[in-house]
């Protein structure tokens, strides 16, 4: 299963047990954005554990309160950030403190996808 969803603030690729989200440059992710992303996740991953992979190729920000909401998604097995950018990784280290789910940071998508498959079983 692979779906591509284009929204006005990001592109989402949905696979069997993970989703890859690439947020547009300059966006500030708020609870409203998160509500849309959560609805997409819950409609695609019914009774299926999944991992949210954010592919940070663009510069954007996230309201830390969003992570408390994300933590409430029962079938979310984990969350990871993919970036080679030092600042994006540093920001992810702080964001990690706000999420009550496994949270990893990777340099590439291949590593992230392998991790996603291993923890979503």
Q: Where are the domains of the chain?
A: 3-119
Give the pLDDT confidence of 15-43 residue by residue, as tens digits: 999 999 999 999 999 999 999 999 999 99
Structure-token match 């990001």, residue found:
10
Q: Give 19-61 as a DSSP string.
A: EEEEEPTT-EE-HHHHHHHHHHHHHH-TT--EEEEEE--S--E
pLDDT in tens, 82-95: 999 999 999 999 99
Which CATH code, of 2.40.128.20, 3.40.50.300, 3.30.750.24, 3.40.1450.10, is assigned to 3-119? 3.30.750.24
User: Tokens standing for 41?
Assistant: 């996740």
Rounded to two decimals, the pTM is: 0.95
């Amino acid at each position: 299963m692979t779906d591509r969803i284009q929204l006005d603030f990001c592109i989402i690729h949905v696979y069997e047990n993970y989703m890859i989200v690439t947020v547009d440059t300059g966006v500030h992710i708020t609870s409203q954005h998160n509500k849309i992303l959560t609805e997409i996740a819950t409609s695609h991953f019914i009774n299926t554990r999944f991992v949210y992979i954010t592919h940070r190729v663009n510069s954007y920000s996230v309201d830390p309160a969003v992570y408390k909401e994300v933590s409430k998604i029962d079938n979310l097995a984990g969350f990871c950030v993919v970036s080679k950018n030092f600042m994006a990784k540093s920001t992810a280290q702080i964001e990690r403190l706000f999420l009550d789910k496994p949270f990893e940071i990777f340099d590439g998508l291949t590593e992230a996808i392998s991790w996603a498959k291993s923890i979503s079983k």
